[in-house]
Structure 1
Amino acid sequence: MKNVEKGWDLPQIVFSLMFITLMIVACFWVVQPFVLGFAWASMVVIATWPLMIKLQHWLWGRRSLAVIAMTLILILLFIIPIGILVNSLIENSGPVIAWATSGHLLLPDMHWMTSIPLVGRKLYSGWHHLVQGGGSAMMTTIQPYIGRTSVFLFAQAGHFGRFMLHLGLMLLFSVLLYARGEQVGHGIRHFAFRLGSRRGDAAVLLAGQAIRAVALGVVVTALVQGILGGIGLAISGIPYATILTVLMIFSCLVQLGPLVVLVPAIVWLYWSGDTTWGTVLLIWSCVVGTLDNVLRPMLIRMGADLPMILILSGVIGGLVAFGMIGLFIGPVVLAVSYRLVSVWVHDVPAPEEDPLEVVEELAEIEHEAHVNAK
């Protein structure tokens, strides 16, 4: 019997692709609850891996001791502070909502304006006329919106439960990755090399640089500014300093800066007549507000040189797409993609021809093709 050569077996190819697709979808379906926690842990481990290696060297080369030390550091930096902040937010949400929705919101008298040289009395007189003429009516008009906004913000506290779940998964996966980091990294590089040879391996390394740059430039800067701003609020005697610190860190993560919280606090101190601490907080706010202009570029360039518009888009887009954890994932996704595309584009030299000559050459080719067609 003669062997009949067969061409492409289309049904076999189609069913193979369907089976592979089904297995991929099933795998993602199973691990879907752990994806965000594992992604967060991966970013934390990649960003702090040099620190873990140093700790291992200091701890007599014992990986187990280094993993324990890094776990304690993560608990001190993430678990305990966030737990305290969430607890404080839940405890203080009731009084803040009651204050915002009450009918006793009045504009302050601001008698301290009279102490301003030259223009102080005129400013106080203008403010006094504003309060007498329409200040109360203005506050009555905007008061319902203040209450609704406050209720909406504190209603989002329910999402903290899911956030804390991802936080716990992040800690668990971080311990595993610290313990087996080299094996995991080698496996990822091997898989990337199988897909794209040396280019795939280089893509993994570039992705690691981008992740470290985002972690250092965005997260560390936000934490430093938020903590320093919170210290200033606490020392100045601002009430609900813990909640305001949370808001300040959040505003720094979304690239709005700490002044969104610090400026109203300064105004409140002057309104209440505490001009001394108001001036101290004003000076401290100038330092904290400008710190990111120095700290963020320096930290980002320690990992990879990334444009700020990319970081800003990743933070806002990640927040919309994934919630609070998207503040960390969004910039990383865009940063990794940007680095890979940038390297791919620069594999070839940039065109040196004059644009007009290129346009004329294309026009001539199109004209010849049109003539030949006739």
Structure 2
Amino acid sequence: MTEHQKVRINSSHWVLIFALLAAAVACYLLIAPYMNSIIIAFIISLLMFPVHNRINSKMPSYPNISSLISCFVLTIIVVIPLLAFLAAIAQQGSKFSQNVYQWVTHGGFEAFLNHPLVEQALNFSNHYLPFDSLTPEKLGERVAKFSTSFGSELVGASAKVLGDATGFILNFFLMIFVLFFLLRDHNKIMGSLRHIIPLSRSQEDRLLTEVENVSKSAVMGSFLTAIAQGIAGGLGMWLAGFPGLFWGTMIGFTSFIPVVGTALIWVPATLYLFVTGDTTWAIFLGVWCMVIVGSIDNLLRPFLMQGSGGMNTLMIFFALLGGIQFFGLIGLIYGPLIFAITVVLFNLYDEEFRDFLSWQDEN
């Protein structure tokens, strides 16, 4: 083969690579609006594949039916409890709004403001903190406005949820549709990925295994921790006299917020119980949330996310924080996944160029 032929072949390779990249970008732009559904379906397929494998083993000659059964099982597990859950939250939230309004209009907030500890806190704030002066009258006006508007805000939020229900249903069934093919053609898809990725088989195994492990650990670490904290926090709030399901859900959502987390809910609730005279329940709720709810975040989350690519706690923290900032709630999965893949690629780079890097360190 002549030198000219080598150059011509190399040039054709580059043309093919650039054409392929352009086509890939065009395909991405076409599916970008549905990318979240596709990625969630891929992650769920990794989580569900052991269950699907067991179903498929009972009917190996009918892959379409086994995949359909797996998708149906997932739909039943997710949709029915979710609908009942949302209905219960709306009911308890509406009742809470009414109770707040009655408490404010019947002198409860006025008595709260006259509590010695509240007066001391207001005096401290007005004297030492660089904010506008707070008076009982101003606070009363703001709380009265909040109590009257909270119900309408809740109704508006419920209407928005119902308005978005069509989009949610479409995205959900799109995810189920994609999941069906991912489960049915799992081996073909993984084989194609291995064939296309220009890495050795061992490197491909490490990369794909890491994607699977991090996807599982991100889902388990974030969402299962939120569910566990919501259940534990809701139980504590219910025992202390608050609507357990509603506030447990709020605690579950706030668990996604770095640093502050569930304290956004249980600290004000504890202070409210304390200044209204329920000292025993205030102490109980504070201790319960610090010990039980806090230990879930400190122990369960690191345990469930221990497969996150060897990332330390600081990396996981910034992966979650940056993921939420850039992608929204789905960033709880995307953030750790991007960081973990980067760590694996750095390790592969270190192995591939170890001789050169060692020589460079010595000179």
- TM-score normalised by length of structure 1: 0.67
Matched ranges for 1:239-254 at <5 A: 239=243, 241-254=244-257
Residue pair 1:46, 1:212 contacting (<8 A) in 2 also: yes
Return the offset for 1:265: 2.5
Aligned amino acid, residue 136 of structure 2: G
How far is 1:252 from its partner? 1.7
Match of 1:268 in 2: 272
Query: 1:36, CA displacement in angstroms?
Result: 0.9
**Does the CA-based 8 Å contact 1:310-1:335 persist in structure 2?**
no
Per the TM alignment, residue 300 of structure 1 is displaced from its structure 2 partner at its CA by 1.8
Q: Is the 8 A contact 2:104 2:110 kept in 1?
A: no
Q: Report the equivalent of 2:343.
A: 338
Is the deviation greater in 280-289 or in 61-70?
61-70
Q: In the alignment, which of 315, 325, 341 is matched to residue 310 of structure 1?
A: 315
Is the counterpart of residue 196 in structure 1 residue 186 in structure 2?
A: no
Q: Is the 8 A contact 1:163 1:324 kept in 2?
A: no
Q: How does 1:30-45 map to 2 (within 5 A)?
A: 30-45=30-45
TM-aligned CA distance change 1:226 to 1:48, over 3 Å: farther
Cα-Cα RMSD: 4.8
Query: 1:298 Cα shift?
Result: 1.7
1:231 match: 235
1:291 aligns with one of 291, 296, 299: 296
For residues 78 and 178 of structure 1, what CA distance do their matches in structure 2 show?
Answer: 18
SS in 1 for 2:300: helix
**2:113·2:136 contact (CA, 8 Å) conserved in 1?**
no
85-94 vs 206-215, greater mean Cα deviation: 85-94
Distance 1:19 1:257, change over 3 A: same
Please tell me whether the aligned partners of residues 273 and 281 of structure 2 are also in contact (alpha carbons under 8 angstroms). yes
Partners of 2:64 and 2:275 in 1: how far apart? 55
How far apart are 1:37 and its partner, in Å? 0.6
Contact map agreement 2:218 2:336 (CA 8 A) in 1? yes
Alpha-carbon distance in structure 2 between the residues aligned to 1:265 and 1:302:
35
1:323-349 deviation digits (Å, cap 9, x = unpaired): 333333333222222333234335538
Residue deviations 1:17-49 (CA, integer Å, cap 9, x gap): 675455323322332333211101212222343
Matched residue type, 1:245: G
Name the stretch that deviates more: 256-265 or 16-25: 16-25
77 and 311 in structure 1: CA distance in 2 versus 1, 3 angstrom threshold: farther
Q: Is the 8 A contact 1:257 1:289 kept in 2?
A: no
Deviation, structure 1 residue 209? 2.1
Aligned partner of 1:214 in structure 2 is 218
**Secondary structure, in 3 states, of the residue corresponding to 2:310?**
coil
Deviations 1:107-144 (A, max 9, x none): 4635998xxxxxxxx7588479899x922334546887
**Unpaired runs of 5+ in structure 1?**
114-121, 362-374
CA spacing shift, 1:354–1:327, aligned 2, 3 Å: closer
Specify the SS of the correspondent of 2:305. helix
1:82-121 superposed matches below 5 A: 82-87=82-87, 107=109, 109=111
Larger Rg belongs to: 1
Of 167, 177, 180, the residue aligned with 2:185 is: 180
- Alignment partners' CA distance in 2, 1:35 and 1:207: 17
- Find the aligned partners of 1:269 and 1:246 in 2 and give their Cα distance: 20
Pair 1:79–1:245, CA change in 2 (3 A): farther
2:327 and 2:178 map into 1 onto residues whose CA distance is: 19
Gaps of 5+ in 2: 126-133
Change (3 A) 1:207 1:83: same
Give CA-to-partner distance per residue, 1:276-317, whole Å, 9 cap, x none. Answer: 544443343121112121112222225643223333333333
TM-score by length of 2: 0.69
Letter in 2 for 1:267: L
Aligned counterparts of 1:91 and 1:25: Cα–Cα separation in 2: 46
Give runs of aligned pairs for residues 157-168 of structure 1, distance below 5 A: 157=161, 162-163=167-168, 165-168=170-173
